[in-house]
A and B are shown apart, each in its own frame.
Chain A
Amino acid sequence: METKLPPASTPTSPSSPGLSPVPPPDKVDGFSRRSLRRARPRRSHSSSQFRYQSNQQELTPLPLLKDVPASELHELLSRKLAQCGVMFDFLDCVADLKGKEVKRAALNELVECVGSTRGVLIEPVYPDIIRMISVNIFRTLPPSENPEFDPEEDEPNLEPSWPHLQLVYEFFLRFLESPDFQPSVAKRYVDQKFVLMLLELFDSEDPREREYLKTILHRVYGKFLGLRAYIRKQCNHIFLRFIYELEHFNGVAELLEILGSIINGFALPLKTEHKQFLVRVLIPLHSVKSLSVFHAQLAYCVVQFLEKDATLTEHVIRGLLKYWPKTCTQKEVMFLGEMEEILDVIEPSQFVKIQEPLFKQVARCVSSPHFQVAERALYFWNNEYILSLIEDNCHTVLPAVFGTLYQVSKEHWNQTIVSLIYNVLKTFMEMNGKLFDELTASYKLEKQQEQQKAQERQELWQGLEELRLRRLQGTQGAKDGPLPRPTPQVAASGGQS
């Protein structure tokens, strides 16, 4: 068959194997995979934000707001707002540079104007403002470039249109914070749907955007009383989905931070809704894999709740014990940290309720082979308040931890841990010498009994072994006998030689 194709470049055939037996050094690929992955050029894909507008009009700079007489100000303002509603393609960084610059300048001016000029925010501009903001910020977030995006390890994907987006957010913030701002007018436009879309944006990978969103949502929560319950409910949905369905949402830390300050402002007595939020959302949030990303904010929320209502303490601590990490030491350290924060604010009456299960867990942590876990647990004894709680309840706490501490002090591989434990045992001794002596004695007795048992067991096995050997000799002697006997397997190989 004839080929129609032009001959391709001749392949470079590798030299025959017989002649060059050693692979050329440049073929060694070694362990460069990680670096390759890093060096990989960023996958360029268009963002969902910018879906081409077919009638892209040319933007022409408008006169400055400060240059027009007050009578024309609002007309110009709404033209500027309309101008800022035009979207640009930021993935093509050279496309329509002039238009981008016009919009940037207009946004800058709007930010300036809304922040400093009084009397600008009159009722008719509200819809224009909200429309401009909505058009710019509300978009479907693009798929993550890296499906296994790890917020601790990987570089986040930054929003390409940030030069404009930042100004829009800034404008939004100043708008909300303006002394002229009237929530009663704005609530017609900032409605539930608006808030829902705002919340969806918290999934953005860009930390700068989430930072703005955090402040904005906080202001919205503060100014729009009618939306408060709705915001809390939608946050719940986001968290529940995050815990039980997806395990992926970038803005958990930011949402928790807002909720922390919201919890701070809860009226007493707490509503059932709020308690349910603590028990069914905040506590289960501890079980999520990526806990480290938002743990500080989560612990803050939990402590806020306990400061509000101490009767929740038992529920919280038992919840934490239920979700206590079994294999992840990094998380265990975080749990211990949170537990100390809780103990810092615990009421003695509550401490009594949970001391036993809690200190059993602490003892387990002290005996962890991971020294950071053990160390973190032992630091509890450096805390004056915790120490005083232990002292008040030493008849319960000491027996719960003593055996473990004593044993670990003899066995732990890490010298720092051993010396920390010695200190702890010393404080115990000073705390209640009599109890300490009793516990030491009973511990030693227990150990002795254990040893004795072990010895007995070993003697039993030895006896069995001897018995077996004797029988073995017996069977070998009787090998030629008339009756075939079941011979142990070991005998077979002996017979061969």
Chain B
Amino acid sequence: MAGAAGPRAAPGAAGGDGDDSLYPIAVLIDELRNEDVQPPLESLATVEETVVRDKAVESLRQISQEHTPVALEAHFVPLVKRLASGDWFTSRTSACGLFSVCYPRASNAVKAEIRQHFRSLCSDDTPMVRRAAASKLGEFAKVLELDSVKTEIVPLFTNLASDEQDSVRLLAVEACVSIAQLLSQDDLEALVIPILRQAAEDKSWRVRYMVADKFSELQKAVGPKITLNDLIPAFQSLLKDCEAEVRAAAAHKVKELCENLPTEGREAIIVNQILPYIKELVSDTNQHVKSALASVIMGLSTILGKENTIEHLLPLFLAQLKDECPEVRLNIISNLDCVNEVIGIRQLSQSLLPAIVELAEDAKWRVRLAIIEYMPLLAGQLGVEFFDEKLNSLCMAWLVDHVYAIREAATNNLMKLVQKFGTEWAQNTIVPKVLVMANDPNYLHRMTTLFCINALSEACGQEITTKQMLPIVLKMAGDQVANVRFNVAKSLQKIGPILDTDALQGKVKPVLQKLGQDEDMDVKYFAQEAISVVAQRLRKLDVLVKDREEPRIPGADKNLFLIPRGPGEDTGKGPACQLHVNTRDTLAQLEIAELVHFLQSRE
């Protein structure tokens, strides 16, 4: 359908009105894949809006693949040439992306022409075009004959790499990766490496940043020998660059660099040539640098082995664990598993603990959230005794955090811990503490008890659930806050599948039925929902229930059924109704609830 309109669009029409809106057209035309659409695509390839142009070029590249070699030369190559010699820079930038697709299948004469065009665009007057050419240089080099790479691409690369604009020079670094893969070691050393070395010391930090950012690719492309001779010194200077951006980019690559070094003699190189620089970064003035390093430094331990790790790395880990910036500490803690494999976490535990405690009480809740997520991992590595002694109280404190997301994460954390340490541990250490909170004066904490029970009941099994948890839940059905009551209903629905018939029939059902008569609409709704679920469960348990009162389908009350209620929906009931937070405990809703609570507590 769209195709019918596409080809008829006059070439001149593109660029007429609101270039952004042409983007979808460029996408659509792509689906036609017919040489008929070349003219409109050609004119789209000349508009200023970069997204449109790029998409048009992408489409043209696909079309080129559909051409036979003859048709390619008859229809496509002329188009590329037209674009390459266009007046306005836009068409010339577009042309840069098209050379590499028509080159491999062109005749020798045409090939020479294409190379000529590319050469002239590489020294174009407009920096925009030179940038486009530089970014396509690597791709173009790959389709060229090796001789041409040496005689033509390398000089172009050399020129672009010493362009007057740093935005061009940094793109040449990218091209360097592709070109290096094509050349022999000798040629590399003679032709490419001097330029790469120069780029690593460029006066513009953007170029140096690019070298740091592409370091692993470069390392792989030039091979181990050149890496040792040339790249390591370059890397060292990047690690102590005067711009933090560059240091951070280089720090990110430390692990990959070390991993990719030849295994033979690797340890010595790392210890003698890399570690001294890393040591300085640990006390860098910039937190981004430190945090970049912290995110990879632990990975070195597997490469260096136990003794080196203890001797060289451990002091660095410990220093970073005490860093003033929480992100640095978090990055270390989140990668503990690497170290655990090599030297065991005990080596660190003494320093770990203060770091964890501090993060656990950080003023920013996102930091607290992050550390909670590592708790199960830490618990597994530190063992149950250590955990009980030092970390248990932290985990319980999170349950009464004033941010809902933290309480929620703490609840999930408990479940994972129980899965790790078993039900007996849960019964002795966790469950009693959770249940005590049921008597808390703050209704949010009472609800946390319910949420914990929801999470823990399955992991704890039937016995603990029935004997310890259920009575508390049932007792809370009489709570004065409606939110607690309807959460009781929800909890009962949730733990229903774990309970046996007696408990369901004898204890749960009467309570739910009572809640089903509650004066509060939400409580009623959730109670009824729970009743139907419990009834189903009972039926499954093969119990004949012929109670008249049985499933009261919520649909009986049409309004209740059809309209999902949010906070503040029934405005007639005064401010208390805002507490009626609905089913999904989204953050936003809970925050409203907390706000209300906050206001109440101030009263």
Interface, chain A (partner B; CB < 8 A): 1, 3-9, 11-18, 20-23, 27-29, 43-48, 50-51, 140, 142-143, 193, 196, 233, 237, 240-241, 243-245, 280, 284, 322, 493, 496-497
Task: Knowing A3-B346, A11-B353, A140-B204 are in contact, say whether A17-B433 is a contact too (CB < 8 A).
Answer: yes
**Contact at A18–B363, with CB atoms within 8 Å?**
no
Contact A28 B164 (CB under 8 A): no
Q: Are A3 and B350 in contact (CB under 8 A)?
A: yes
A17 touches B346 (CB 8 A): no
Contact across chains for B437 and A18 when beta carbons are under 8 A apart: yes
Residues of A near B365 (CB, < 8 A) are 29
Which B residues touch A47, using CB under 8 A?
242
CA of A50 to CA of B203, assembled, Å: 11
Enumerate chain A residues within 8 angstroms of B128, measured Cβ to Cβ.
Answer: 237, 240-241, 244-245
Q: B370 contacts which chain A residues (CB < 8 A)?
A: none
B323 within 8 A of A: no
13 A-B pairs (CB sep. < 8 Å): A6-B350, A11-B353, A17-B400, A17-B437, A21-B437, A45-B244, A45-B286, A47-B242, A48-B203, A48-B204, A50-B242, A233-B125, A245-B50
Q: Within the complex, which residue of B242, B347, B436 is in contact with A46, where a contact is CB–CB below 8 Å?
A: B242
Q: B399 — which chain A residues lie within 8 A by C-beta?
A: 17
Contacts A5-B347, A12-B357, A240-B89; is A496 near B553 (CB within 8 Å)? yes
Is residue B573 contacting chain A, with contact meaning CB distance below 8 A?
A: no
Tell me the smallest distance from the CB of B513 to a CB of chain A, in Å.
20
- B265 near A: Cβ within 8 Å? no
- Apart from A45-B242, A48-B243, A193-B164: 8 A-B pairs, beta carbons within 8 A: A5-B351, A12-B357, A13-B357, A13-B394, A14-B394, A241-B167, A245-B50, A280-B88
Contacts known (A21-B441, A46-B243); A4 close to B347, Cβ less than 8 A: yes
User: Residue on B with the closest CB to A139?
Assistant: B203
- If A16-B396, A17-B437 touch, whether A8 touches B354 (CB-CB below 8 Å) is yes
Which residues does chain A contribute within 8 Å of B245, judged by CB atoms? 143
- C-alpha gap A29/B594 in the complex (Å): 14
Within the assembled complex, what's the spacing in Å between the Cα atoms of A140 and B246? 14
User: Is B351 a contact partner of A8 (Cβ separation < 8 A)?
Assistant: yes
A-B contact count (CB 8 A): 127
Tell me whether B244 and A43 are in contact (CB under 8 A): yes
A3 and B343 alpha carbons, distance in the complex (Å): 11
Q: Determine if B556 and A497 form an interchain contact, defined as CB atoms under 8 angstroms apart.
A: yes
Partner pick for A3 among B203, B347, B556, CB 8 A cutoff: B347
Contacting pair B440 A284 (CB below 8 A): no
CB of B539 closer than 8 Å to a CB of A: no
Contact assessment for A496 and B555 in the assembled complex, using a CB-CB cutoff below 8 Å: yes
Cross-chain contact B400 with A21 (CB below 8 angstroms): yes
* Cβ contacts under 8 Å, A27 to chain B: 361, 363, 402
Distance in Å: Cβ of B401 to nearest Cβ of chain A: 7
Q: Which of B287, B353, B442 contacts A21 (CB 8 A)?
A: B442
Known: A48-B242, A241-B128. A14 touches B344 (CB 8 A): no
| B203 close to A140 (CB less than 8 A) | yes
Chain B positions near chain A (C-beta within 8 angstroms): 17-18, 48-50, 88-89, 125-128, 164, 166-167, 203-206, 242-245, 285-287, 318, 344, 346-347, 349-351, 353-354, 357, 361, 363-365, 390, 393-394, 396-397, 399-402, 433, 436-437, 440-442, 445, 553, 555-556, 558
In the complex, A324→B50 CA distance in Å? 19
CB pair B555 A493 closer than 8 Å: yes
Q: Are A45 and B397 in contact (CB under 8 A)?
A: no
Is A142 a contact partner of B286 (Cβ separation < 8 A)? no
Contacts of A5 in B (CB 8 A): 318, 347, 350-351
Distance of A475 from chain B, by nearest CB (Å): 20
The answer to whether B440 touches A21, judged by C-beta atoms less than 8 angstroms apart, is yes
Q: Which of A21, A22, A142 contacts B243 (CB 8 A)?
A: A142
- Give bound CA distance, A325 to B392, whole Å: 57
Find A1's partner among B344, B394, B440 (CB 8 Å cutoff): B344
**With A143-B205, A241-B128, A496-B553 known to touch, is A29 a contact of B558 (CB < 8 Å)?**
no
Which residue of B48, B88, B242, B390 contacts A11 across the interface (Cβ within 8 Å)?
Answer: B390
Report the separation of the CA atoms of residues A457 and B402 in the bound assembly, to the nearest whole angstrom.
Answer: 55
Residues of A within 8 A of B363 (CB): 27, 29
Q: Are A16 and B433 closer than 8 Å at their CB atoms?
A: yes
Q: A27-B363, A140-B166 are in contact. Are A244 and B49 (CB under 8 A)?
A: yes
For residue B364, which residues in chain A have a CB less than 8 angstroms away from its CB?
29
Q: In the assembled complex, which residues on chain B have CB atoms less than 8 Å from the CB atom of A142?
A: 205, 243
Smallest CB-CB separation from A45: which chain B residue? B244
Given contacts A1-B344, A44-B285, A48-B242, contact A8 B350 (CB under 8 A): yes
CB distance from B409 to the nearest CB of A (A): 15
Contacting residue for B396 out of A17, A233, A284, CB 8 A: A17
**Chain B residues closer than 8 Å to A21, beta-carbon distance:** 400, 437, 440-442, 445
A50 vs B243: C-alpha distance when bound (angstroms) = 11
Task: Report A206 CB to chain B, min CB distance, Å.
Answer: 17
A119 to B329: give the CA distance in the assembly, Å.
65
Q: Out of A4, A14, A48, which one reaches B361, CB within 8 Å?
A: A14
Taken together as a complex, chains A and B put the C-alpha atoms of A48 and B208 apart, in Å, by 12
Contact of B50 among A1, A13, A16, A244 (CB under 8 A): A244
Q: How far is the CB of B596 from chain A (nearest CB, A)?
A: 16
A322 close to B18 (CB less than 8 A): yes
Contact of A43 among B18, B286, B353, B555 (CB under 8 A): B286
Q: Which residue of B lies closest to A143 (CB)?
A: B245
Please, which residues of chain B bring their CB within 8 A of the CB of A143? Answer: 205, 243-245
Report whether A11 and B357 are in contact in the complex, using a CB–CB cutoff of 8 Å: yes
User: Which A residues are CB-close (under 8 A) to B437?
Assistant: 17-18, 21
Contact A23 B401 (CB under 8 A): yes
Closest to B364 in A: A29
Complex Cα gap A16–B400 (Å): 10
Nearest 5 CB-CB pairings of A with B: A18-B436, A11-B357, A14-B397, A46-B242, A17-B396
A497 to B433, CA, bound (A): 47
Q: A240 — nearest CB in chain B belongs to which residue?
A: B128
CB distance from B242 to the nearest CB of A (A): 4
A6 and B245 CA atoms in complex are apart in Å by: 36
**What CA separation (Å) do A15 and B285 show in the bound complex?**
36
Q: In the complex, A1 Cα to B401 Cα: how many Å?
A: 35
**CB–CB A45/B442 < 8 A:** no
- Across the interface, do B164 and A23 meet the contact criterion of CB distance under 8 Å? no
Closest to A51 in B: B242
- Select A196's contact among B89, B164, B397, beta carbons within 8 Å: B164
Closest chain-A Cβ to B504's Cβ sits at a distance in Å of 25
- Are A237 and B126 closer than 8 Å at their CB atoms? yes
Which of B344, B350, B394 has the most chain A CB atoms closer than 10 A to its own CB? B350
A143 to B209, CA, bound (A): 11
Say how far A41's CB is from chain B's closest CB, in angstroms: 11
Residue pair A28, B402 in contact (C-beta under 8 Å) = yes
**How far is it, in angstroms, between the C-alpha of A3 and the C-alpha of B382 when the chains are bound?**
13
A1 to B130, CA, bound (A): 62
Chain A residues near B394 (CB-CB < 8 A): 13-14
In the bound complex, how far is the Cα of B555 from the Cα of A322, in angstroms? 54
Query: How far apart are the CA atoms of A23 and B361 in the complex, in Å?
Result: 11
B447 to chain A minimum Cβ distance, whole angstroms, is 13
Q: Is the CB of B48 within 8 A of A280?
A: yes
Q: Could you tell me the distance between the alpha carbons of A233 and B394 in the complex, rounded to whole angstroms?
A: 64
B442 touches A7 (CB 8 A): no
Residues in A neighbouring B390, C-beta threshold 8 A: 11, 13
CA distance A142 to B243 in the complex (A): 7
Residue of A nearest to B318 (CB): A5
* Bound complex: CA A51 to CA B203 (Å): 9
| Residue in chain A with minimal CB distance to B442 | A21
A20–B440 CA distance with the chains assembled, in angstroms: 9
Q: Compute how far the CA of A415 lies from the CA of B491 in the bound complex, rounded to whole angstroms.
A: 54
